[in-house]
Structure 1
Amino acid sequence: MASTWRTRKADQKTNLAKRRSPNIAEVSIPTHFRCPISLELMKDPVTVSTGITYDRQSIETWLDMGNTTCPVTNQDLEVEDLIPNHSIRRMIQDWCVANHSYGIERIPTPKIPVTPAQASEILSGIAAASRRGETTKCRELAVKVKAFAKESERNRRCFMSHGAGRALAASFSAFAAGPLENSKTGVLEDILSALVFMHPLDEETAWHIGSPESLDSIVLILKCGDLAGRLGAVLVVKELVSANGEWVEVMANTKGLIEALVKLIKEPIFPQATKASLVATYYMVNSDVERMASRFVDLGLVPVLLEILVDSEKSMCEKALAVLSGLLSCEEGREKAYEHALTMPVLVKKMFRVSDMATEFVVSALWKLCKNYNEEEAEEGGRRGESLVEALQVGAFQKLLLLLQVGCSGSAKEKATDLLKLLNGYRGRAECIDTMDFKGLKRPF
């Protein structure tokens, strides 16, 4: 009896909820609240010089595509002609509140975008403050640049078009010159945090931020700056080395920079910082600078990368595999990989589990580990021979065959074919185990 009563009570509550919350599809959005371009409810209505009101994002996208006319009247337009329509926006907000029971959320009041005049004034202020050595004023303006750029893509583009990257980099270089006092560290960190939003860096910006004094300050921030400062520093380093190969040698000759990058990978502060460190490391390891890979290996990066591969998400795995493949190009890197119990199991396991890009890095890494194999060493129980046997045990042969069947790039196909030839002669020496289960494998730490 009690059970029946509770069931009826629950049904009554459900029916009442249905009556109070009609389907949102039943609500008809007034025509004058819809953007003429997207036909969606306007969130930031702006009126152009022709008198037509659009949603800001839609009309700016229209203009960014190279269009110079009003979509409705076909008259000429300029982006400066966009005037916020506060009356329509308040009417839309009132309508949203009135229809809240239908599941419609009130649109937030949009923030006013930065104007070209404001951007120019802020950047001029940064230049003047850096010339006078006014750290407090420069910090205040750099924080303002970051806040505006973070707020919207439109603001970021506005600052970029007025040379924000060059202004910030020149200011950083000015404060980095001379003895680095504690009072300077804060302004340098704030400038870097703002500069992160001004990518890609042009040649003049890179020249300022890549000066010896600037790089020394960046290394110091990477090692002992605050979290935001360290993130900004590593993002700038990544941008430099990925934009131009000439900067790799400059970075390699900057005392303490490589150690700082490795530390960020070993002791992560943010996933974004770790990924930026891995990308910067990738470009440096795969450069023509002599013994670059060996320097990273000597700092203990190989076992760290293998640990990252165990349970990281797709993007992190791709970057870790890219760096690992580069480190295996040197003898020291391969020796460290041979010594690690996770090397073969993790590489083979990741062959099809991440992405096509990751698969190519896996094949490249396996090929580098096995290509110098020779029978004498195998008979003597050498590390390379042991690695080949282990690769067979964890199912590398079967996965490589499958890879050739499903298809891959020319480079990966060539390496996979070479690996199969190497492994084929030793198939009788090892029994394949299930590559899906490596729980029983002991780690060396």
Structure 2
Amino acid sequence: MILSWRRPRACRRASKVTLSEGLSSETELSVPTLFRCPISLDLMKDPVTLSSGITYDRENIERWIESDNQTCPVTNQVLGSFEQIPNHTIRRMIQDWCVEHRSLGIERIPTPRIPVTSREVSEICSRILAATQLGDHKKCQELVEKLKVRGRESERNKRCIVENGAGYVLSVSFEFFASVSIEAHKSLLEKILSVLTWMFPLGAEGRSVLGSSSSLRCMAWFLEGEDLSARQNAVVALKEVLSSDQKHVSLFAEIDGVEESLVRLIKEQICPTATKAALMVIYHMISPSNISERITSRFVELGLVSFVLEILVGGERGITEKALGVLDSICNWEKGIESARDHALTMPVLVKKILRVSNFATDISVSVIWKLCRSENGGDQQIEAVQLGAFNKMLMVLQIGCGEKTKEKATELLKLLNQYRDRLECFDSSMDFKYVRRSL
């Protein structure tokens, strides 16, 4: 059977088959059914044959199998084996067909690389451990680069590498060479971090090793540098490690200069990934503990409140939620409340975020306003909140529905703000909240 492929469809699938611009719009390209994947009906890039004898494109059949399907899509036969055997004959026929039609603008499909296997990953990991024990950083770097290259080839390869314990092995190697000399092994350590970032979340053993004192000091060292990529990888790794154990947070907080490095990341906003990770690291550091007040004071001194408020002015949802979480934690302490209270943007930004971003952002915004209005000398905050329409916002929050804690805080805020409502003539009793819907 021969299927015709008109040019408009080919244009929509330009990544599959590209037709030259000089062709007439009426030109048809006939593609043999044998060359099409039975699942997607697209030209196969990497044909593989199952035990049922049917050939599919590797990417499509892997997606089918990963969805817990146990049968062959065409024959519905239960697969005794999920082994995918490369069909070199079909692949060469497809390549010859592409070459034959190159005058029509068809690009030759490149010969695919064989996917990495569990055995290959295990062998590389064993060699990395052996080289680490010998202190052979050059060999380690060569093997880590090999893992990195194989991972770049496909998402399947990445999954295979992760599933075979590479994250733990790289964490062990990172910890060892960081304890020997960071400066001497800078290139290797940086490369390991760059690979680890797509292996998260790590298992408990990997997080434990990466949370050692020497590993944390190495990541802090990268944070202080000027290499943007290394700083991003370091803060992403720190987010992974500090989220799992308060002991790691305490160890990291003891390192000189980490607060300055994190605030610099927030200030510069080199990329959304780094900004989100930095906010999460700060959040874990200032969450209630026996050292959080001291750390919070240091962050306040470095101007963190101002930088967080700047993020809140125009940040997207993910960053906004994390920035609000940090601000809420800062306001658990008097010094944080003072800094937030003294900034002109604080109350306007918080009131604006209510019912504008997400349920979580609304809850946190209400929480921060509640802390500011209940604080010592909170009368000025209450007056400003009423002037900005916070009373109306609290009514909407209660009418639309919220969590129990937010409900309690919004109710208390209404009582606090009500004493200024008539005096400031900010409340319109005719306002109808009937059709308001809470953000999702």
Q: State the TM-score, normalizing by the size of structure 2.
A: 0.82
- Corresponding residue of 2:151: 149
Give 1:262-341 correspondences, 5 Å limit.
Answer: 262-290=263-291, 291=293, 292-341=295-344
Distance across 1 between alignment mates of 2:421 and 2:388: 12
Further displaced range: 188-197 or 157-166: 157-166
Cα RMSD for the two superposed structures: 3.1
Cα offset for 1:126?
1.9
Residues 204 and 428 of structure 1, relative CA distance in 2, 3 Å threshold: same
Residues 150 and 278 of structure 1, relative CA distance in 2, 3 Å threshold: farther
Cα offset for 1:433?
11
Counterpart of 1:199, as a letter, is: F
Further displaced range: 303-312 or 194-203: 194-203
Distance across 2 between alignment mates of 1:18 and 1:342: 58
Please give the secondary structure, in 1, of the residue aligned with 2:356: coil
Are positions 1:250 and 2:251 aligned together? yes
Residues 260 and 116 of structure 1, relative CA distance in 2, 3 Å threshold: same
Cα offset for 1:288?
2.7
- Corresponding residue of 1:7: none
**Residue of structure 2 aligned with 1:70, choices 69, 72, 83:** 72
Residues 68 and 397 of structure 1, relative CA distance in 2, 3 Å threshold: same
- Corresponding residue of 1:423: 417
Maintained 8 Å contact 1:348/1:395: yes
Deviation string for 1:265-306 (max 9, x for gaps)? 122322211111111222232243432433432332111100
Deviation string for 1:13-34 (max 9, x for gaps)? xxxx9993359xx988654344
Residues 59 and 224 of structure 1, relative CA distance in 2, 3 Å threshold: same
Residues 19 and 224 of structure 1, relative CA distance in 2, 3 Å threshold: closer
Distance across 2 between alignment mates of 1:420 and 1:105: 67
Residues 240 and 27 of structure 1, relative CA distance in 2, 3 Å threshold: same
Give 1:308-387 correspondences, 5 Å limit.
Answer: 308-372=311-375, 382=377, 384-387=378-381
Counterpart of 1:125, as a letter, is: R
Cα offset for 1:55?
2.5
Counterpart of 1:396, as a letter, is: A
The structure 1 segments of at least 4 consecutive aligned residues displaced by more than 6 Å after TM superposition are 26-29, 103-108
Please give the secondary structure, in 1, of the residue aligned with 2:197: helix
Are positions 1:20 and 2:24 aligned together? yes
Residues 287 and 372 of structure 1, relative CA distance in 2, 3 Å threshold: closer
Maintained 8 Å contact 1:33/1:42: yes
Are positions 1:398 and 2:401 aligned together? no
Residues 56 and 243 of structure 1, relative CA distance in 2, 3 Å threshold: farther
Name whichever structure is richer in helix by fraction: 1
Q: Percent of aligned pairs with the same residue?
A: 50
Maintained 8 Å contact 1:309/1:317: yes
Where structure 1 has 5 or more consecutive residues not aligned to the other structure, the ranges are 1-16, 374-381, 435-445
**Residue of structure 1 aligned with 2:137, choices 112, 135, 138:** 135
Counterpart of 1:114, as a letter, is: V
Distance across 2 between alignment mates of 1:316 and 1:358: 11
Are positions 1:215 and 2:209 aligned together? no
Cα offset for 1:190?
0.7
Please give the secondary structure, in 2, of the residue aligned with 1:183: coil
Cα offset for 1:154?
1.4
- Corresponding residue of 1:378: none
Please give the secondary structure, in 1, of the residue aligned with 2:392: helix
Please give the secondary structure, in 2, of the residue aligned with 1:363: helix
Maintained 8 Å contact 1:367/1:419: yes
Please give the secondary structure, in 2, of the residue aligned with 1:198: coil
Distance across 1 between alignment mates of 2:70 and 2:251: 44
Please give the secondary structure, in 2, of the residue aligned with 1:425: helix
Deviation string for 1:224-278 (max 9, x for gaps)? 1622222221111100122334433333334433332222212232221111111
- Corresponding residue of 2:196: 195
- Corresponding residue of 1:12: none
Deviation string for 1:304-347 (max 9, x for gaps)? 10011112222211211111111111111110011101111111
Give 1:115-194 correspondences, 5 Å limit.
Answer: 115-180=117-182, 182-194=183-195
